[in-house]
Amino acid sequence: MGSVSNTGGITGPETGGAAVGTASLKSGSRLIELDILRGFLLLWMTLTHLPTKANIISNQTFGFVSGAEGFIFLAGFMVGQLESRKESRAGAAATVRDIGRRTWRIYVYHSALVALAFTVFAKFSVAYHRMAIQNLLSYYLQDSKHAVIAAALLLYRPSLMDILPMYIVFMALTPVARRIAHRWGWDPLVYASFGIWAAAQFGLRAWLYRQGRLFGLDVPETSTGAFDLYAWQLLWLVALALGTIYAERLREANDAHAADDGSGLQPWLVRLSLVVAGCFLVLRYSPIDRLMDPNVYGWLIDKWHLGPARVINFTAITVVLVRFGTRIASPRFLRPLAAMGQASLEVFSVHVFCCLCGVALSHDADPNLPLWQQALLLVFTLSALFATAYFVRWKRARGRSAAQAGLALAVN
């Protein structure tokens, strides 16, 4: 994920920055490859979360990594890139306002999903004895008043609805991180972030939980979300730094060719990453868990605490994608995924709704749907995701057209 320089910032191994090797990358342009990747990650997460046989294939397909790591990392990279451009045009205060608007928008979408879960799905689960939904919303069903308050404060994070709260927290802390980086560079932030991640591997989250109740709310630890924010902040912080530095390098160079030749990655690093990613892919489908202590194995690959092996695996895959991402994303049949990536918040929210619908179809605590229901659920969900993506694209295009028409009238 890049190296820490001695000059106050993270740089790439050779020419610096987290470039995506493509001639289409120009300062101020949208990176279609990143939109395609984000659309793929959304599709990957959806297939993993739906209660269908498809999750056998989609669950950690490429090694000990999942779509969630890529989603958070890519979001951090794009925020760093976009806000760096905005700051160069309109100043630091404009970036704080923009991040605030983006954070509030995510919070509104998350709150809508939680409200839907607490009303429609909770009542449905009780009336029709849907154990999986009841387990998912157990704290709300036990203490609805405090659960609503805790959810509004992002302390109560039911499964399937625990990624957006993490995103909100990271977004809210981004202006602070950027301000510190402006003064002292990204190095201290990355070192501190790594230290917090290391502490998270040895129970920082559980220790802090035992120290006392925030706002006097006794939220069960199992209801505070599966993701350990103290571990996952490492992905966001490093991505934020790389996105910021990449945008700054493009702006300084003012020449697309400066970020066009192999993405600034040394050949040895690319080769090493290919070998590492390949080894983890083989290990993913091997019986290695039978050859070592299962506790150590589980700790190394733990998703929720972002275990050490997982970080190494993700880093290797990231380097491979940086180097070969343009070629991978070049087939035309992948282009529809760009629409999903450009409407990621809306598509993600629809994915959560569809997953809740799928879980609610089963009476069992561990949903096991008939094959015909699984097939219908997949068709319905994928159709809803793409319909949402294209509706958002149409709505934005219409808004731009209206704005241009209004500007033309004002000029005339």
pLDDT digits (tens, 9 = 90+) for 96-111: 999 999 999 999 999 9
Q: What is the pLDDT of residue 290?
A: 82
Q: Is the pLDDT score of 9 beyond 60?
A: no
Percent of the chain past pLDDT 70, that is, above it, reads 89
Lowest mean pLDDT among 13-17, 50-54, 240-244, 256-260: 13-17
Q: Where are the domains of the chain?
A: 3-401
Q: How does pLDDT run across 83-100, given as a tens digit for each residue?
A: 999 998 999 999 999 999
- Candidates 270, 244, 309; CA nearest to 65 is 309
d(CA 401, CA 405): 6
> Is 60 exceeded by the pLDDT of residue 340?
yes
pLDDT in tens, 300-323: 999 999 999 999 999 999 999 988
Query: What's the confidence (pLDDT) of residue 263?
Result: 56
Distance CA 412, CA 408 (A): 6
What pLDDT was estimated at residue 411?
65
**Alpha-carbon gap, residue 67 to 61, rounded angstroms:** 10
Q: Looking at residues 324-350, what average pLDDT do you find?
A: 92
Q: Encoding tokens for residue 55?
A: 């999750």
Q: What is the dihedral of CA 344, 278, 288, 205, to 10 degrees?
A: -40
The per-residue pLDDT for 2 is 43
Nearest to 20 by CA among 77, 62, 80: 77
CA 2, chain centre distance (Å): 19
Whether the pLDDT of residue 38 is over 90: the answer is: yes
Q: What is the mean pLDDT of residues 372-392?
A: 96
Q: What is the pLDDT of residues 203-242, one digit of tens each?
A: 999 999 988 887 788 899 999 999 999 999 999 999 999 9
The separation between the first and the last C-alpha atoms of the chain, rounded to the nearest angstrom, is 51
User: Residue 10: beta bridge partners?
Assistant: 4
d(CA 55, CA 61): 9
Q: Which two tokens stand for residue 257?
A: 């060719």
The verdict on pTM exceeding 0.85 is yes
Q: What 3-state class would DSSP assign to 4?
A: strand
Q: What is the mean pLDDT of residues 13-36?
A: 51
Using alpha carbons, list the distances in angstroms from residue 67 to 60, 62, 257, 407: 8, 10, 31, 41
Helices (H), 287-343: 294-301, 308-328, 336-342
**What pLDDT was estimated at residue 264?**
67
What confidence category does residue 252 fall into, taking pLDDT thresholds of 50, 70 and 90?
Answer: confident
For residue 59, pLDDT over 70 is answered with yes
As a whole number of angstroms, the distance between CA 358 and CA 384 comes to: 13
Residue 12 pLDDT class (50, 70, 90 cuts): very low
How far, in Å, CA of 81 to CA of 196, rounded? 24
111-160 pLDDT, tens per residue? 999 999 999 999 999 999 999 999 999 999 999 999 999 999 999 999 99
Q: What is the pLDDT of residue 325?
A: 86
The SS3 of residue 98 is helix
Query: What type of residue sits at position 226?
Result: A
Measured between alpha carbons, how far is 354 from 387 in angstroms, rounded to an integer? Answer: 13
Give the pLDDT score at 4.
39
Cβ atoms 389, 342 nearer than 8 A: yes
The answer to whether the CB of 355 falls within 8 A of the CB of 49 is: yes
Q: How confident is the model at residue 60 (pLDDT cuts 50, 70, 90)?
A: confident
Instruction: Pick left, alpha or beta for residue 129 (phi over 0 → left; psi -120 to 50 → alpha; otherwise beta).
Output: left
Beta bridge partners of 4: 10
Rounded to the nearest integer, the mean pLDDT of the chain is 87
